[in-house]
């Protein structure tokens, strides 16, 4: 997603009111609203695959946790972001219809326009949330996933095709292949070809 810059500083109330009425989503950082533009086909498929896998696991276990995709905001101090996917388990956090404050998992699908922000500003902001246990960064042009966990002191672990990611906060495992289901990139194509030949 590309991000465009807006000059006017907004109060939290004005921002939230505008997001309910507007057709374009904005993230609010230091009082400045940044418009979020559309995602690519790969980005959309990856986000959808992750959401579907998490939702199925939570449903099967009758978990009180809820998975959200794209349009649900997370509030970090006075800023608001739109994670690609997040999981919330705190029942009190379900009371607000427009944003969450206590996610246990946040997942961002990287794009050229957002990679730097997702790896720096957002990573720092998200890791300040006491509830957050896992922060996941997913590449869309190659099959590579970084998982940062509170337990490891926010050190990165890398996952590739053939690997399975374990999300301890919700006791769920997701294969990297399922995350990249129907996603057309060189790594996935080569892996599928290799599987067919073996």
Long-range contacts of 6-12 (CB under 8 A, 24+ apart): 6/32, 6/33, 6/34, 6/35, 7/32, 8/32, 8/33, 12/78, 12/80
Q: What is the CATH number of the domain that holds 63?
A: 3.90.1570.10
Domain count, the chain: 1
Q: How confident is the model over 98-107, as a mean pLDDT?
A: 96
Structural domain span for residue 60: 39-197
> Is 90 exceeded by the pLDDT of residue 88?
yes
> Is 60 exceeded by the pLDDT of residue 4?
no
Asked whether residue 177 is domain-assigned, the answer is: yes
Asked whether residue 9 is domain-assigned, the answer is: no
**CB of 190 within 8 A of CB of 142?**
no
Q: What six digits make up the tokens of 196?
A: 């067919």
Asked whether residue 24 is domain-assigned, the answer is: no
Residue 5 binned pLDDT confidence (cut-offs 50, 70, 90): very low
- pLDDT value at residue 193: 63
Asked whether residue 34 is domain-assigned, the answer is: no
- pLDDT value at residue 198: 61
The pTM of this model reads 0.88
Asked whether residue 6 is domain-assigned, the answer is: no
147-178 pLDDT, tens digit per residue, is 999 999 999 999 999 999 999 999 999 999 99
């Amino acid at each position: 997603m590309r991000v465009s810059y807006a000059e006017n500083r907004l109060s939290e109330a004005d921002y939230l009111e505008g997001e309910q009425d507007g057709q374009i989503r904005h993230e609010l950082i230091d009082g400045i609203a940044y418009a979020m533009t559309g995602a690519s086909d790969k980005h959309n498929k990856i986000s959808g695959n992750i959401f579907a896998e998490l939702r199925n696991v939570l449903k099967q276990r009758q978990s009180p946790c809820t998975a959200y995709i794209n349009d649900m905001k997370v509030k970090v101090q006075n800023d608001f972001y739109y994670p690609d996917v997040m999981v919330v388990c705190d029942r009190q956090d379900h009371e607000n219809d427009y944003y969450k404050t206590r996610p246990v998992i946040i997942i961002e699908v990287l794009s050229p326009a957002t990679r730097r922000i997702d790896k720096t500003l957002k990573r720092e902001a998200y890791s300040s949330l006491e509830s957050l246990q896992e922060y996941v960064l997913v590449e869309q042009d190659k099959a590579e996933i970084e998982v940062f966990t509170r337990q490891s002191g926010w050190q990165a672990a890398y996952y590739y095709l053939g690997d399975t990611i374990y999300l301890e906060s919700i006791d769920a495992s997701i294969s990297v292949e399922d995350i990249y289901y129907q996603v057309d990139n060189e790594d996935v194509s080569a892996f599928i070809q290799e599987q067919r030949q073996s």
